[in-house]
Amino acid sequence: MLNEYPSAVIFGCSGLALTKEEKEFFERVNPLGFILFSRNIATPDQLKTLIQSLKETVKREDAPILIDQEGGRVSRLKSTYWQKYPPVRVFGDMYEKDKASALKSVHDVFRLIGHDLQKLGINVDCAPVLDVPVEGSNENILGDRTFSTDPHTIGVLGNAVCQGLMEEGVLPVIKHIPGHGRAFVDSHFELPKVDADLETLKKTDFMPFKCLSSAPWAMTAHVLYTSLDAHKPASLSEKIIHDIIRNEIGFNGFLVCDDLSMKALKGSLSDLTTEVLAAGCDAVLHCNGNMDEMDRIASVIEPLSARSMERFVAAQEARRKALEHACPFDYKAARAELSEKTA
């Protein structure tokens, strides 16, 4: 029954352990899943306890637990307790010189990352970044988080990332669909506007996402593409989600918006929640753990639609199959090889 489905939202939480208010709120709202940030992470044991507490509030052991663990500067698991991994630009540079070595290296690194995550109970990694940067695009939001300026290179290496994560039982999230690479401002603070025409976008920005259109999850870009929808950014645009993401790019997996609390989006959180779901996203994402903001979202949130639930279940099944068919992997040798190659 539809009313038995989880709510179409992924929430953050405020600290290292759940407060009584958070426990009661999550039990009542039944969000689909949760996302973790540095404020939630101190030690492995503390993090495992927090993750188990989150799962218990919704009574679903397989509830999605998301994190941004890309390598480089976007790594929520810090090197005090966890391996430090290089930014993915390292593998893009390597690919120009030795394609086979780069593909093996990036696959192995994300298998190691996936191994780190699944040992903690984290089952979704918001990676890889498939954006195609252009000269002058915002370094703060992209920079060395991107593999390359070449769409083909990005697609090939991004696919290796997805394979590595899936083989450890971790779902990848390709981002930021349909492409954040032409953004000249940081969408955390203001709305980027992209004026490139559709044909240009097809030949460049869309290409890596098209290569990975069978990925299980994707995250939308808070970007206004004036040639696609002059009034609404991708996360709020039914035209972009239906015509571009679902049809042109061909992505049929589970689609979440980027963080609703980013300043690129204007309007009340309740209105934005309704707009994002009406536009065609399967779930909304809210990251900062602010209870007042989460209350506003909860006041209008609905259960996952039947179609969204189908996509979610398909992603879970894809992960199960990838894990079942994963080849044996020598983690110790892979870590030694990583140290040697990135020294």
Residue 149: pLDDT above 90?
A: yes
pLDDT band at 138, cuts 50/70/90? low
* DSSP-derived secondary structure for 79-129: TTTS-----THHHHHHHHH-HHHHHHHHHHHHHHHHHHHHHHT--EE---B
pLDDT, residue 145, reads 94
Residue 268: pLDDT above 90?
A: yes
Sign of CA dihedral 236, 238, 243, 247: positive
ω into 128 cis (within 30 of 0): yes
The set of catalytic residues is 188, 258
pLDDT, residue 4, reads 81
pLDDT tens string 11-42: 999 999 999 999 999 999 999 999 999 999 99
pLDDT, residue 308, reads 98
Model pTM above 0.85: yes
SS (H, E, C) 35-91: EECHHHCCCHHHHHHHHHHHHHHHCCCCCCEEECEEECCEECCCCCCCCCCCCCHHH
Residue 58: pLDDT above 90?
A: yes
Q: Which two tokens stand for residue 185?
A: 């401002």
pLDDT tens string 211-222: 999 999 999 999
Residue 1: pLDDT above 70?
A: no
Domain 2-341: which topology? TIM Barrel (3.20.20)
d(CA 187, CA 174): 17
pLDDT, residue 343, reads 63
